[in-house]
Structure 1
Amino acid sequence: MSLSPQWLDELRSRITLSGVIGRTTKLTRAGREWKACCPFHNEKTPSFTVNDEKGFYHCFGCGAHGDAIRWMTDQRGLTFMDAVKELAAQAGMEVPRPDPREAQRAEQRAGLHDVMQAAQDWFVASLAGPDGAAARTYLETRGFNARTIERFGFGYAPDSRTALKSALEQFDEAMLIEGGLRIAVDDKPPYDRFRGRLMLPIQDARGRVIAFGGRILAKDKTDAPKYLNSPDTPLFDKGRTLYNLHRAGPASRQSHRVIVVEGYMDVIALAAAGIEEAVAPLGTALTEQQIELLWRMVDVPILCFDGDAAGQRAAMRAVTRALPLLRPGHSLTIVRLPSGLDPDDLIKTQGRAAMEQLLANPASLLDTLWAHEHAARPLATPEDKAGLKARLMDHVDAIAHPDIKGLYRRELLDRFSAFAYPPREARPAFTPRGPGARAFSGRSPQPAGLSEGAANRLRHLAQGGGRDGLVHAVIAGLARFPDQLHRHAEALASYAAPDAGTARAIDILLDHAETLEKGETSPIKDLQSLAMPPDHARYSFLLEDPHPQSAREDLAEAVAQLVERPALEAALAAATARFDSDPDGAIAEQQRLRERKLALDDRLRQLARQRVAAPAQDESSSSAAHAAQGEQGMD
């Protein structure tokens, strides 16, 4: 009977490995893993570990390694199908009935494995023969020794359209084509795919050859691709395969890291230098499936890219692929090599220590995201800066996990605010004007109050001078939470107010901020009578009984949106103005900016809904707790 890989993966996911092993071996919790004395060899100090998250056991003493099925076959002595049936019974799964078509496909795949191994043996023999002289010379120039050449299975494909067919004549032509070794074109005779190339086998997680990669050697063939990989076949799916995974997996369990580089030559260069835990995608950007494979090995893989523009693009493609997949404890880190150097160049010129130093200090995914978008376009105008914020928030919106999304939003908004609203020059001490006025210097003895005139002006301006309810709401919110004036002073100071009245209101608040002790939480007492805007229920920080910390965060969101809107409107006007010269670009930019404005409005509506629900839930929980205590007292 043949079981599909998907069904077996489902079986493993439903089994708790420590529960299976713990029935016959005493396990002790050690952080996120379990430890025990190895059941496969005699030892006094535990070196056997079980990791439920990654679904494998491993002994650092004897090297025993496997999953739940392997445990049942190796430790319990069951056959594969008996082990599967017993585990399926525990998991509540039904073992699929024999499928003749699947059995036929499994037999076909087994035959293709034979074809690929035969091709590998022939490539290796060709490298050692007379035709392989140029390939051997190339390997010498790369500094690969005999052990590295043998270990990674280097071979050579002669520059002939029929040499492989002749060498593997025991296999049908159809199998060679299906394995990606020969190419069939409509009305022409089939021909060898790999010709005049240095060959490398691509292996699956079990070390079986499933595909090949070939590097061109002839310098005059400028029209041919430098690297050529096998096409997708029944054995090989390039989006789900990582080169060198079968070697890097065991090495990563020793080093607790895995390194992703751009190509298989980079992998081999690192291995030759003693860094064994490296893998590479195969001609594509890192896919979601490959990221999941990496997370089964370590929680935070290291992505190592060349320092050129292509490496930067590859890093950002990986970042954008990873954002929707992020979950607690799992992320990516990024290492950028010096410009013009790949791992092999760096190791040859500066030694392994230089590479290890870079690997020890990678940039976080968030740092990489910020640095890329900050450097992506000029940031000279308010419109440019609004574009930066919009791009950052677009990335945040791609994150699926709500907690991680919220934390990314807050961190990126903080960085944006620090960049877009740098500290302004110290304002002169406020000096009251009018008959009998005297100079003011230092802190106010009553920091929670305003002068009568300032309070009256602020009431008037907030209620009538503002252009819309958001301005009014922000002024009322800052009067209610004066400790936030310090936090938002720079943003408000740089705000290009839509009218003189709003500008004066903000200026009064900023003057008052300079008289407050940092952390002052008492509302501005002279503004207790400040009328709420008609739609104040939209704003959670103006509700009757807000959650203080949540209200302050929502007020920060409102301030950020108040400041961003004029820049968005200016950017819309600029896009409209260039319609005649660039209609397509102008329309696309208008659409993007309008979507951002809609998103801002939606966010404000959500704030009220989220925070209004919270007090009701808390009140319900509190009432239930009191009721339960009352019942216990009656008992």
Structure 2
Amino acid sequence: MSIPPQFLDEIRSRVSLSSVVARRVKLLRAGREMKGCCPFHNEKTPSFYVNDDKAFYHCFGCGAHGDVIRFVVEQEGLSFRDAVAGLAAEAGLELPEENPEARAKAKAAAGLHDVTAAASDWFRKQLSGLGGADARAYIDKRGLKPATVEAFGLGFAPDSRGALKAALGDIDIRKLIEVGLVIEAEGREPYDRFRGRLMFPIRDPRGRIVGFGGRIIGAGEPKYLNSPDTPLFDKGRLLYNLDKAGPAARKSGRIVVVEGYMDVIGLAQVGFAEAVAPMGTALTEDQMKLLWRVAPEPVLCFDGDSAGRRAAIRAAMRALPLLEPGKSLRFVTMPQGQDPDDFAKARGLSAFTDLVNGAESLIDTLWKAETDGVDTATPERRAAVRQRLFEHAHAIENQTVASLYQSEFRERFDAMFRARRENRFMPAVRGASSAAKARLALSPVEIETRSVMVGLLTHPHIADVHGETISHLHIADPQLDRLRSAIFSAISRNHDLDKDVLAHDLAAQGLGQYADDLRRMNRLDFSFTRPRTPAAIAEQDLACVVGHLMALQRIDEDLADLRARYDSLVQSEFEEQQRLRAEKARVERELIDLAEARRGDEAPTPAKERNLDGDQSTGEAQG
């Protein structure tokens, strides 16, 4: 059931737009309007205006425009109906009920947010009390500052079966059970669910506390315990910290999914505000849809171990049916043994941001999963790889995206084995490693791209100057892509890095031999591949080559799009031909049926009837 326009108008008239906007933006009076820095894009000079009389906002910088409902939808990541529901509550209006199920759900949730808010306040007080000493020691060990603890509302649940229940004794025990804070046991007194745990309040996109996560302090299992499903809490439809990360992500255009609460909090402390986490489970379809409301390509950040790689593939497989033009995922694999919190503390905001900016596309992740280290020595094994790749493409429901994936997989597969066939007939190269020999059969674009990487090895400072453009170059070779990431990471830590220090850094990461082979096998003599070229000339010439490569890349993308559209047209034409053939066969059958029916109507009259007719005719003639 749609919401009546009259009801929406009533909300707009009752809820002051400026009061809602002021929760996110510092507004100053400007005549009959109010102005501030736009929450939809980064700016230093205010160009965002709010007009309460006309009930709309407008940004003269980015063109953002809308009313109070649109503002809540865009800034809080809510669905239209949820935004209207929240504003209706502010206005003292009752939302038109959609169906009996919706009415029952709304009734069940009524008043429960006050219960979770009261529990959160109590947990926070316990953290600062005598009983919270061990929890505070854990917080100190993790390096969290008091302001961070306060911002995320961390608390402590004492190791007691009835402390919370007693402290909130003025609240009906049925409500405590309903929100999952107290467990009802048959034949026993109800008891507290969270005991001896550091508490993380979990909020919905509107910032209301709907549940909790608790980490055990000391020994015990499970390590993390979440609220059960309740009228407020559905862990498959929520993301930890989305209420804070959403507005920041809409400004930056990026959002990062990490594995745990402490990763989110640790990243926020170093200044990375756009991180969220699922509640200890694999990312669900509903959670992906929440992420796509905020940013077109959320970045999923996984540990660098085998479990992290498996988690990345599971997420990629789950996302495939949901992909649409402009909506995808990207992936970051953390260095071995480090999680995002550890990495950010050790390397800082800039290094983590570089990791995120260099995230791998979904198609690259699938390609590597199916081809890296896979034995393809026989046609049958190669066919199996090709089949798995095309199964991934066929899982995509959007036909435009699916056809482009098929084209991309086909091109990569053919290129990989074409290069292998050509390499069989290439002469041996003395002094080159086997990896270098395997790179002899390359396309002109691949040769130029490798020369660019040699330029970065020779003049590392160029990565600082043209890094953003170079990061958008498509590099199919995983090892070369890894080298690019390693160079960017090194330059982010030391902007004055020279080639010798860079070589030492790459050797420490196991890329030294690869970099040496790349230099030795470089076929093009550009100015930026020579050590003695002045910095300004090297920068200028490398920028020219990268611009050429980007142009070729765009042309290839346009060609792939045209190919996909052509394939789609061919498929449509084939289906239309099939439809017309079927229609023709149906009409032919109807004609045959009609002809047979007519023959039945015109069948010869039996002999007896003919004689009677003849006699009568004769009689009439004679008469």
Task: Give your verdict on TM over 0.5.
Answer: yes
Which residue of 2 is the match for residue 629 of structure 1?
Answer: none
**1:424 counterpart SS class:** helix
1:235 aligns to 2:232 (yes or no) = yes
For normalisation by structure 1, the TM-score amounts to 0.56
Deviations 1:35-55 (A, max 9, x none): 974325999972585378x98
1:290 aligns to 2:282 (yes or no) = no
Instruction: Map residues 270-281 of structure 1 onto 2, 5 A cutoff.
Output: 270-281=267-278
Q: 1:38 aligns with which of 43, 46, 50?
A: 50
The Cα of 1:109 is off from its aligned counterpart by 1.4
The Cα of 1:169 is off from its aligned counterpart by 1.3
Asked if the contact 1:324/1:398 (under 8 Å) is kept, the reply is: yes
Structure 1 residues 8 and 283: CA distance shift in structure 2, 3 A: farther
Task: For 1:367, give the aligned amino acid.
Answer: D
1:327 aligns to 2:324 (yes or no) = yes
Asked if the contact 2:237/2:286 (under 8 Å) is kept, the reply is: yes
**2:222 counterpart SS class:** coil
Distance (whole Å) between structure 2 residues aligned to residue 191 and residue 357 of structure 1: 47
Asked if the contact 2:183/2:191 (under 8 Å) is kept, the reply is: yes
Q: 1:244 aligns with which of 235, 241, 244?
A: 241
Instruction: Map residues 401-440 of structure 1 onto 2, 5 A cutoff.
Output: 401-421=398-418, 422-424=420-422
Q: 1:302 aligns with which of 266, 291, 299?
A: 299
Distance (whole Å) between structure 2 residues aligned to residue 225 and residue 389 of structure 1: 42
Q: How many residues matched?
A: 411
The Cα of 1:424 is off from its aligned counterpart by 2.3
The Cα of 1:254 is off from its aligned counterpart by 2.1
Deviations 1:526-575 (A, max 9, x none): xxxxxxxxxxxxxxxxxxxxxxx99x989x99xxxxxxxxxxxxxxxxxx
Distance (whole Å) between structure 1 residues aligned to residue 77 and residue 145 of structure 2: 30
The Cα of 1:68 is off from its aligned counterpart by 7.4
Which residue of 2 is the match for residue 116 of structure 1?
Answer: 116
**1:211 counterpart SS class:** strand
The Cα of 1:106 is off from its aligned counterpart by 3.1
Asked if the contact 2:69/2:84 (under 8 Å) is kept, the reply is: no
Asked if the contact 2:76/2:247 (under 8 Å) is kept, the reply is: no
Q: 1:352 aligns with which of 341, 349, 353?
A: 349
Deviations 1:80-99 (A, max 9, x none): 649x7xxxxxxxxxx54896
Distance (whole Å) between structure 2 residues aligned to residue 311 and residue 9 of structure 1: 48
Distance (whole Å) between structure 2 residues aligned to residue 326 and residue 350 of structure 1: 34
Structure 1 residues 10 and 229: CA distance shift in structure 2, 3 A: farther
Instruction: Map residues 65-464 of structure 1 onto 2, 5 A cutoff.
Output: 79=91, 81=93, 95-96=96-97, 105-219=105-219, 221=220, 224-375=221-372, 377-421=374-418, 422-424=420-422
Distance (whole Å) between structure 1 residues aligned to residue 335 and residue 327 of structure 2: 27
Asked if the contact 1:49/1:59 (under 8 Å) is kept, the reply is: no
Asked if the contact 1:158/1:196 (under 8 Å) is kept, the reply is: yes
Asked if the contact 1:203/1:211 (under 8 Å) is kept, the reply is: yes
Structure 1 residues 385 and 297: CA distance shift in structure 2, 3 A: same
Distance (whole Å) between structure 2 residues aligned to residue 104 and residue 59 of structure 1: 24
1:609 aligns to 2:574 (yes or no) = yes
Structure 1 residues 252 and 49: CA distance shift in structure 2, 3 A: farther
Deviations 1:97-120 (A, max 9, x none): 896x86665344132212111111
Task: For 1:158, give the aligned amino acid.
Answer: P
Percent identity, aligned pairs only, is 43
**1:303 counterpart SS class:** strand
Task: For 2:322, give the aligned amino acid.
Answer: L
Which residue of 1 is the match for residue 70 of structure 2?
Answer: 56
Task: For 1:323, give the aligned amino acid.
Answer: L
Asked if the contact 1:200/1:214 (under 8 Å) is kept, the reply is: yes
Asked if the contact 1:337/1:343 (under 8 Å) is kept, the reply is: yes
Asked if the contact 1:252/1:258 (under 8 Å) is kept, the reply is: yes
Q: Mark the runs of 5 or more structure 1 residues left unpaired by the alignment.
A: 1-5, 85-94, 429-548, 558-602, 617-635
Structure 1 residues 216 and 7: CA distance shift in structure 2, 3 A: farther
Structure 1 residues 259 and 97: CA distance shift in structure 2, 3 A: closer
**1:185 counterpart SS class:** coil
Which residue of 1 is the match for residue 507 of structure 2?
Answer: none
The Cα of 1:125 is off from its aligned counterpart by 0.8
Task: For 1:39, give the aligned amino acid.
Answer: N
Structure 1 residues 120 and 11: CA distance shift in structure 2, 3 A: farther
Structure 1 residues 96 and 177: CA distance shift in structure 2, 3 A: closer
The Cα of 1:394 is off from its aligned counterpart by 1.2
Distance (whole Å) between structure 1 residues aligned to residue 369 and residue 308 of structure 2: 12
Asked if the contact 1:262/1:305 (under 8 Å) is kept, the reply is: yes
Distance (whole Å) between structure 1 residues aligned to residue 89 and residue 160 of structure 2: 50
**1:248 counterpart SS class:** helix
Asked if the contact 2:77/2:246 (under 8 Å) is kept, the reply is: no
Which residue of 2 is the match for residue 453 of structure 1?
Answer: none
Larger CA deviation: 415-424 vs 246-255: 415-424
**2:64 counterpart SS class:** strand
Structure 1 residues 244 and 427: CA distance shift in structure 2, 3 A: closer
Asked if the contact 1:48/1:57 (under 8 Å) is kept, the reply is: no
**1:57 counterpart SS class:** helix
The Cα of 1:128 is off from its aligned counterpart by 0.8
Asked if the contact 1:257/1:301 (under 8 Å) is kept, the reply is: yes
Structure 1 residues 387 and 12: CA distance shift in structure 2, 3 A: farther
Deviations 1:423-458 (A, max 9, x none): 425879xxxxxxxxxxxxxxxxxxxxxxxxxxxxxx
Structure 1 residues 301 and 64: CA distance shift in structure 2, 3 A: closer
Deviations 1:355-394 (A, max 9, x none): 0111111111101111112237544443332221121111
Distance (whole Å) between structure 1 residues aligned to residue 370 and residue 65 of structure 2: 38
Distance (whole Å) between structure 2 residues aligned to residue 184 and residue 115 of structure 1: 17
Asked if the contact 2:78/2:205 (under 8 Å) is kept, the reply is: no
Distance (whole Å) between structure 2 residues aligned to residue 72 and residue 321 of structure 1: 31
The Cα of 1:232 is off from its aligned counterpart by 0.7
Task: For 1:287, give the aligned amino acid.
Answer: T
Task: For 1:137, give the aligned amino acid.
Answer: A
Deviations 1:561-614 (A, max 9, x none): xxxxxxxxxxxxxxxxxxxxxxxxxxxxxxxxxxxxxxxxxx9x9799359679
Q: Mark the runs of 5 or more structure 2 residues left unpaired by the alignment.
A: 18-32, 42-46, 427-558, 582-623
Asked if the contact 1:38/1:47 (under 8 Å) is kept, the reply is: no
Task: For 2:123, give the aligned amino acid.
Answer: F
**2:410 counterpart SS class:** helix
Structure 1 residues 227 and 418: CA distance shift in structure 2, 3 A: same
For normalisation by structure 2, the TM-score amounts to 0.57
Distance (whole Å) between structure 2 residues aligned to residue 299 and residue 367 of structure 1: 17
Distance (whole Å) between structure 1 residues aligned to residue 4 and residue 311 of structure 2: 30
Distance (whole Å) between structure 2 residues aligned to residue 396 and residue 258 of structure 1: 25
Which residue of 2 is the match for residue 576 of structure 1?
Answer: none
Task: For 2:50, give the aligned amino acid.
Answer: C
